[in-house]
Amino acid sequence: MQSRETLKRHAALVDHMAGTQGLDLEELILRGKLTISELDDAVLRCTGCTQPGSCENWLAAMAAAPENDAPPPAYCRNTSLFAELAGG
């Protein structure tokens, strides 16, 4: 079982990564495009990542250059979910 701190860290990473892709996870849930269970699965996938520090650095770089429209890094375990939610 993951610690509470680990789950919170990765939930924040999932939310932030989704935001860089133009996705509002809360809005998607309210519209029925994403279930709580699917979001839980995304966070759990994220906890299996070996590069959360690199992810945090990538997200910080994206925040510093908001005009950058880059896809998630290749190591992101939720890339396909984000693409599906974005309609691509």
Residue 33 DSSP label:
S
Q: What is the pTM of this model?
A: 0.92
| pLDDT confidence of residue 70 | 87
Rg of the chain (C-alpha set): 12
The string of pLDDT tens digits covering residues 36-60 is: 999 999 999 999 999 999 999 999 9
Contact 74, 68 (CB under 8 A): no
> What distance in Å separates the CA atoms of residue 25 and residue 82, rounded to the nearest whole number?
10
- Confidence at 19, pLDDT banded by 50, 70, 90: very high
Residue 62: CB partners within 8 Å, gap ≥ 6? 20, 68, 70
- Confidence at 88, pLDDT banded by 50, 70, 90: low
Contact 6, 47 (CB under 8 A): yes
Is the confidence at residue 15, as pLDDT, over 70? yes
User: What mean pLDDT, rounded, does the chain reach?
Assistant: 94
